[in-house]
Structure 1
């Protein structure tokens, strides 16, 4: 049998020749390598996609090879100054014009324009200057985007709906994602957004026929969100490709009897969010719906407890067949208020259910009722909240 011995004496260990120390020549050669300049242009442009255009331009000081690469950046984004100084605003717009003029990218993937303080600036300016400078300038930027086969556009404005979307932009067939706020669609004609998949409109007046025209011109639209919008009463979606609809904080301009109707027979996901001071919701013809979120808030009045309960119950009845249901604090508290008077819930077919509960377990009876109405439930998520409940004794 072989015998194996171990020894702690280093003299018994085999000796291996040590590699010679690097020469001064090797050190000098390694230290002179400019790894930044050696980066491929494709990698540099990928880095630029995470930066604003202003920061991308600053990288021109890093290396000679980087001095002009920013002009080929297909991702362009700007933020206007947070002040009401007309000179600074003119300068900022001139910088955007200069960047677009030097752009060498044949195809621009994204153009992001952020001007949250435009409203306060316009209020301190003359309308004549606004018409002669601001509107033509934004028109010119959008035309640049269309001519460079833009894929993503985001325009965040706060301008009291004074900017009307130009007609030529509605024929941008390469547009894939579009987010716009505080713009008017009143002059809109035909819509040819044949590649658009994601559309989000914030703080805009949209009538029913405008929404219908937009949806008709977006045959491959998958995601549609309306946030803080008003002027519409019925959202009717016939498209088979639209998967998700988000209604966030709609503004009801009439009285408490206003009703926003939503009908979408092929829709898969529906989310009703935000603050809805006035009006109600009515969901119908959503047989394909598999996910729903009722996370909106309305003003609370003791005299309207039963009306609020009827609203929540009606929505649950329309969505009883969804497999995933998320219920917000307001809806859950409304059901908690009416539980003492006898709460009748529709039979729910959901497999996944999520809703908030108070830390004091005040809503435990309602939870039991919901579980009784959900015989197919497989997953229940309870979110603990410290939000105070409505005074049950007053109802």
Structure 2
């Protein structure tokens, strides 16, 4: 055996190229060490050029021209070094205070990206209304798959091979957006952040399955996307219209919007009316996530006597700071989800107190209404309940325990109930121990329910 190893020579070098490249990629934090492997033998001479790397350049926050020029020169020198590489996994440039005199510099980055890069991010700062126009040639690169563009002028794509496109802080038109989509035949994911100028987003591609819209501040936006499966509407902004017939294939919807309730009464009525439309539009969706604005509106709608539309959802996640005032809305909403199998509640610390319900009722009144409310029916399919990031003392969370008791009472086929608490410091709060004991003492309608309080 020893003779065979000696005769075989360098067994490491006998490994296939993909394995050796993978080994080198693990050493990439020390770039010089990777390059030095080229002197080991002719077998290793060019392997380092095939190691996929990530390049990130963030311009210093300075208005001084010499600082910008120095960083530009440094960036170009580094790119010249990397031109020998066969492939760059990720390449990002952030924060250049763009002026027209830098157009050729940015062109150089774009040309580099479309010839060697899989994922390219270009985020500029607009100065004196000078905006970089993303060039047409950039779309011709067959290697470029993921593209992120912020603060520039977008030209329509032509037969590009992009799989993912993210556009941010860009002025568009319906016509430009239509041409962008028609030119990206392989696009699977589209994200629009703080864009303006489009009022009708029509997506007819069968391949494009994920759509994210964040902070849309323009006039109302109508979405027509019959093949979209995953939709996220996030942040502040204007109303985005969706109807079941326009998103018939939708499987997962995330609604984490944020509107200002502190304006006039009519604005609150308008926003609640908007949530009604959204809930009707996603009532066929199997997986749904709601943010705090939606949940606060649920409580207001419940207080006004609105009947939530019946749904076919099987998974529901609520992202909220658990408050007594929310429980009636949450429970009434759950009653419209008879097919629900999994309920997840992700708690977070709400630094900005929400006092919208105080216009209609006080906390004591809401507590009394919750404790005396007669919720008809049960949850015949609910098997899993999980509350994450739970925090606070027993005295602060008496109302939450009422919600836990309600869920255990009405989930007739429950299998797993997990309340995962977090705490500060190294010592477990004695309150958590008491809380765990109290929760474990609650009656359960399901004989198979496992209740776990973890911390």
TM-score normalised to structure 1 length: 0.75
Structure 2 match to 1:242:
208
Q: Quick check: 1:81–1:92 contact (8 Å CA) kept in 2?
A: no
Distance 1:242 1:249 in 2: 21
Partner of 1:361: 324
Quick one: structure 1 residues 51 and 281, their matched pair in 2 at CA, closer, same or farther if it must change by over 3 Å?
farther
Mapped contact 2:38–2:47 kept (Cα < 8 A) = no
- Give SS of 2:279's match: helix
Partner of 2:111: 143
Among 56, 62, 70, the residue aligned to 2:31: 56
Task: Check the 8 A contact 2:156/2:180 in 1, yes or no.
Answer: no
TM-score, with length taken from structure 2: 0.66
Give 2:222's match in structure 1, choosing from 228, 243, 261: 261
Task: Write the distance in 2 (CA, Å) between the matches of 1:229 and 1:306.
Answer: 26
Cα distance in 2 between the residues matched to 1:171 and 1:100: 21
What residue number does 1:29 align with? none
Asked if 1:394 is matched to 2:359, the reply is yes
Gaps of 5+ in 1: 1-25, 27-32, 253-257
1:77 equivalent in alignment to 2:55: yes
Asked whether the equivalents of residues 78 and 96 of structure 1 are also in contact (C-alpha less than 8 Å), the reply is no
Contact 1:172 1:192 in 2 (8 A): no
Q: What is aligned with 1:164?
A: 133
Paired with 1:51 and 1:210, the residues of 2 have a C-alpha distance of: 44
Pairing of 1:11-22 with structure 2 (within 5 A): none
Deviations 1:201-258 (A, max 9, x none): 2222222112111111122221111122222111111111111111111232xxxxx2
Equivalent pairs, count:
339
String of CA shifts for 1:263-317, please: whole Å, max 9, x gaps: 11111111101222xx211113111111111111112235122211111110110
Aligned positions of 1:1-395 closer than 5 A: 42-43=18-19, 45-46=21-22, 55-57=30-32, 59-60=34-35, 64-65=39-40, 70-84=48-62, 85-101=67-83, 103-105=84-86, 108-115=87-94, 117-119=95-97, 122=98, 127=99, 130-131=100-101, 134-148=102-116, 150=117, 152-160=118-126, 162-185=131-154, 188-193=155-160, 195-252=161-218, 258-276=219-237, 279-284=238-243, 285-301=246-262, 302-303=264-265, 304-387=267-350, 388-395=353-360
Confirm or deny: 8 A CA contact 1:320 1:348 kept in the other structure. Answer: yes
2:409 aligned partner:
none
Over residues 140-183 of structure 1, what are the superposed CA-to-partner deviations in whole Å (9 max), with x where a residue is unaligned? 233234345x4x23223232272211111123344322222222
Structure 1 residues 57-92: Cα deviation after superposition (integer angstroms, max 9, x where no partner) = 464457844887544444351314425313421331
Q: Give the number of the structure whose alpha-carbon radius of gyration is greater.
A: 1
Counterpart CA distance in 1 for 2:215 and 2:47 is 43
